[in-house]
Amino acid sequence: MALSLPINIEEVKGFLAEDEAQALYDYALSVAERGPLLEVGSYCGKSTIYLGMACQQKNSQVFAVDHHIGSEEHQLGEMFHDPDLYNATDGIFDTFAEFRRNIRRCNLQDVVVPLVAPSEVCAKFWTTPLSMVFIDGGHSLDAALNDFRCWSGHVMRGGLLAIHDLFPAPEKGGQAPIGIYRLALQSGLFESVARVNSLGILRRL
């Protein structure tokens, strides 16, 4: 059943397809009772809203990890740069104000916990088991590997690891996300559950 949202989701900047968003919500809903969720790479909050709505249903929380200064492709002069999100005064790409506005519009302030720092800083002293981790941060190989190494080990047994932007063919998209997806499978700690468009869902064994 399609999720009814309190806002027009098309107004929220982001790169999540409709079928991917619905799958993210459905799988988050299936595990949120077991513990909190965490996403890496919130941008303006589109995926956070779907995860947050699932957590709201199950009295859980989602930790949203993002330094909010954009990945390589969001910087001035790059392919995915959005001038509306560029803070010319400080000379930085800055998505945090837009993120907070979208979370507030969906009444998810008590559900979503923003962690505004690089992935490795947030993970340094992390000890809480997570029912689901969604990785959609920087798409360079170094960034994707870093996010995977920081957070995959915190997924509880039976919990889920979701990875966005899986493109088997290099001409369709960057190879770092599918690289860490394959790494997860090769580790023997995860099994494939579903592929929805470019979203991969794995379960921790």
Confirm if 197 and 19 have CB atoms less than 8 A apart.
yes
For the beta carbon of residue 169, count every other beta carbon within 10 angstroms. Answer: 8
Which of 67, 139, 154, 164 does the annotation list as catalytic?
139
Beta bridge partners of 132: 37, 160
Q: Strand pairing of 199-204 and 155-163?
A: antiparallel
Confirm whether 67 is a catalytic residue.
Answer: no
Under DSSP, is residue 62 helix (H, G, I), strand (E, B) or coil?
Answer: strand
What is the C-alpha radius of gyration for the chain, rounded to an integer number of angstroms? 16
How many CB atoms lie under 10 A from the CB of residue 18?
Answer: 11
DSSP state of 11: G
Q: Which of 133, 125, 188 is nearest to 164 (CA)?
A: 133
Which amino acid is located at 79 in the chain?
M
Longest alpha-carbon distance in the chain:
48
Give the residue numbers annotated as catalytic, written as ranges. Answer: 139
